[in-house]
Amino acid sequence: MRVLSGIQPTGRFHWGNYFGAIRQYIRLQDQADEAFYFIANLHALTTVRDRAQLAQWTLDAAIDLLALGLNPERATLFVQSDVPEVSELCWLLMTCTPMGLLERCHAYKDKRARGLTADAGLFTYPVLMAADILVYDSDLVPVGEDQVQHVEVCRDLAGSFNHQFGETFVLPKANVLETSARVPGIDGGKMSKSYDNTLDVFEDPKQQRKKIMRIVTDSRPMEQPKEPQIDHLYQLYSLFVDEAKREEMAALYRRGGFGYGEVKKALADAAEQFFAESRQRRRQLESEPERVREILAGGAARARKKAAEVLQRARVNCGVGW
């Protein structure tokens, strides 16, 4: 089984990125026969237009992933744009993609509904994502719930290409990531950079603690019992602790007689302890940028070898591979 997934470098990773995706990447690298993970800088061009910022965020993403436990000896880590085969395959797929299929994709529809400018990059985003998946003969694609539609589009395009030109692509399956839609932000909504409600994985602990202590809570009296499962502070705290500590905190909520400041302090302590080793590894990696670039270059070489094989198969089958 070959696993493939990508993550955009559109800012520093937050708790939602880690618990919604990155943690599962790290688990799957030890369960799959092969794991390919890429930093999707071509996709990021639809929103990031500052070249220095995009380059820095791409390097930061690599450092963060390695610090959080992605092992380059178990998984292939690379930058999307370092595999040009994916762009050529994207064009081959584009020539067979119905406009109506892309017009129904929610990312494009949502942006248009909000009155925002939707460029061709956003409109054809699902085709590039399909090329990302198909070019490595991927079997399993870990995605959040909001990306399942794009994997279905990928399967449709692969099936159509196979029907027209003969068996070319493996049809992948989506693996919906646990907690992908259940990591609340500091406002109680889904944690997202778009909503400016994030807590970053490698944020300065002192600054993060201040941010946590400013989280707005309800105005119920201290003595009133509270249901933990519907409280976003409890939901965040639960991400970092074991079952025994979750039950202990839940009992405190149901008993009442506590202040939210007590929970905020426990959350800040738990988060700082949880990421302490990763933070230490990140400091080491940050001091060795050339080592990180070597890892990315090695990953890109492995990825290109597989991508070239699949691309040539597609080129020959559709008639452009002389």
**Catalytic residue annotation:** 111, 190, 193
Q: Please count the CA atoms within 13 angstroms of the CA of 269 that sit on its side-chain side.
A: 8
User: Are residues 174 and 143 in contact, defined by beta-carbon separation less than 8 angstroms?
Assistant: yes
Q: Which of 34, 42, 40, 49 is nearest to 21 (CA)?
A: 40
Residue 252 to residues 61, 255, 256, Cα–Cα distance (Å): 38, 5, 6
Count H helices and E strands in the chain, helices first.
Answer: 16, 5
The string over 149-162, giving b where at least 16 C-beta atoms fall within 10 Å of a residue's C-beta and e elsewhere, is bbbebbbbbbebbe
Q: Which of 96, 101, 55 is nearest to 79 (CA)?
A: 55
